[in-house]
A and B are shown apart, each in its own frame.
Chain A
Amino acid sequence: MAPSVKTGSDLIYGTLNVLVLKALTWQPMHGYAISNWLRERSGGTLDVDDAALYKSLHRLEEQGAIDSEWGVSDNNRRAKFYRLTPVGRKQLRDERTAWMEFAVAVTRVLRTA
């Protein structure tokens, strides 16, 4: 999937999927936790729209990259936890590689200009 830049401050298309997959690498998480994880990790640089985050989660689940089950959150509420599947693990590897190459290419162009 070739990344393409969307308008304004929106994330580069497809990037959110990689970030979500990355967030789920270590443990299953619910959407709220993923939202906070993204905020913390990006130091507030990435202004991730929660609506877009949930759309990404449900789409990834449909594609089989993640699956979900209901569990109990830290404050004892029912929450939907997402977990990476083997398909998602492979997708994360592939997209991370693609992203790195893309970033390197863009950086190289910007440096020489």
Chain B
Amino acid sequence: MPPRTDIRRVFRLGLFRRAAAAVDEEFAFHLDMRASELVAQGWEADAARAEARRQFGNVDEARTFCKRTDERRERQTMRTELLDGLTQDVSFAIRTLRRAPAFTLVAALTLAIGIGANTAIFSVVRGILLRPLPFADPSRLVMVRSTYRGEPSTSSPANVADYRAQNRSFVSMAVLEGHSAVLTGSGDPDQLKGYSVGGDFFSILGVRAIAGTTAFAPEDTAWKGAKSVLVTRNSGARGSVAAQRSSVLR
């Protein structure tokens, strides 16, 4: 008797091995039967076994062929069973959900809120933690800062010069300092937030200008009072680059 379908499903893992064993048993039965028939005709036991094999033909080739065929058939049966099961489960789920609309609504809402919250949180995480910085070679970019009694602190120009002179860890270094200014004279006063940066800051980050240039000499000349350059970014908030430039120049 073949095992029942539901039981076979449980023991599905052993299916292929069982298929192979079945072929072995089937062939063994045939060879034994043929041999005992020959013995009944007066053959010696050993000779009878050999003759049974000879009459059978290429036992090993046939064995391999049959095992492969059975495996393929088992796989096909498994696929069909799996698909049937899936179809049954889905139609059962749909029927159940249709019978209980309140539950369906709550379940759908729960899923929607859960997915929404996950998406929102992931968007933030991605923006802050996962998305690479929009600079050249972001994985090799680090920020170094001085501390004073354990607190973040500014670095003096002389210290920066020392860092740079004794640097063996970085390809190049640029200075950066938070800076804010108040813009007046064009309507309402506006607070501008920005940074004072060294001249080679942009070339290290690989940032190029849309208009004008970002190729400057290192700051050594700048903080000796040579010249300062204003670089703005193209944020929609304060209008186009041209508009910003005109407002700054005024």
Which A residues are within 8 Å of any B CB, using their own CB? 30-32, 35, 49-52, 54-55, 57-59, 61-62, 69-71, 73, 75, 77-80
> With contacts A32-B34, A49-B57, A80-B22 known, is A54 near B70, CB below 8 A?
no
User: Which of A50, A54, A73, A79 lies in contact with B55, CB distance below 8 A?
Assistant: A50
Q: Indicate which residue in B2, B23, B29, B72 contacts A79 across the interface (CB closer than 8 Å).
A: B29
Name B residues whose Cβ lies closer than 8 Å to a Cβ of A. 1-2, 22-23, 25-27, 29-30, 32-34, 55-59, 61-62, 65-66, 69-70, 72-73, 76
- A62 and B73 contact, Cβ closer than 8 Å, known pairs A32-B30, A70-B2: yes
Q: Within the assembled complex, what's the spacing in Å between the Cα atoms of A40 and B26?
A: 21
Q: Please give, as numbers and ranges, the residues of chain A lying within 8 Å of B34 by CB-CB distance.
A: 32, 35
Given contacts A50-B55, A51-B56, A51-B59, A58 and B33 within 8 Å (CB-CB): no
Cβ–Cβ contact A80 & B26, under 8 A: yes
Nearest residue, chain B, Cβ from A59: B69
26 contacting pairs across A/B (C-beta < 8 A):
A31-B26, A31-B30, A32-B33, A32-B34, A35-B30, A51-B56, A51-B57, A51-B61, A51-B62, A54-B26, A54-B66, A55-B62, A55-B66, A58-B23, A58-B69, A62-B70, A62-B73, A69-B2, A70-B2, A70-B22, A73-B29, A77-B29, A77-B32, A79-B26, A79-B29, A80-B25
User: A69 contacts which chain B residues (CB < 8 A)?
Assistant: 1-2
